[in-house]
Amino acid sequence: MQKTIFQKIIHKEIPAHIVFEDKECIAFKDIDPQAPIHCLIVPKKCIARVGEASAQDENLLGHLLLVAAKIAHQLKIYDTGFRIVINHGKDGGESVPHLHVHLLGGRALQWPPG
């Protein structure tokens, strides 16, 4: 199967501004930021989208959220607030078929989302 753009970033085949990495995941700045801080937290395991995660991914899914909060601290948006988003499928706005958590902050975000 062809690698997704995120697999290429995980394998360091294409560059990204990496803000965090551990055994389970990598986090980097979004190439088209929708807020002053916009990072993607991506598991190294290939899971196409959140709905395709299985029971054995439970700890990994939790880990991604804990890493998002850690990065919010690191990038100094923890106190002002931030938003975590996961897009699943066409209507959800998913464009890259490799599970990723968006971390957005640095400005007041609208609700409801568009």
Active-site residue numbers?
Answer: 100
Smallest distance, ligand 5GP to C-beta of residue 62, A: 20
Phi and psi at 91, nearest 5°, equal: -70, -25
The torsion of the CA quartet 30, 32, 34, 35, rounded to 10 degrees, works out to 60
Smallest distance, ligand 5GP to C-beta of residue 15, A: 9
Half-sphere exposure of 4 (CA within 13 A, CB side): 17
Stretch that binds ligand 5GP, among 18-26, 50-58, 62-70, 94-102 (CB under 6 A): 94-102
User: Can residue 75 be called a binding residue for ligand 5GP (CB under 6 A)?
Assistant: no
Map residues 35-64 to x or -, x wherever contact with ligand 5GP holds by CB under 6 A: -----x------------------------
Total residues found in the chain within this entry: 114
Q: Would you say 94 and 88 are in contact if contact means Cβ atoms under 8 Å apart?
A: yes
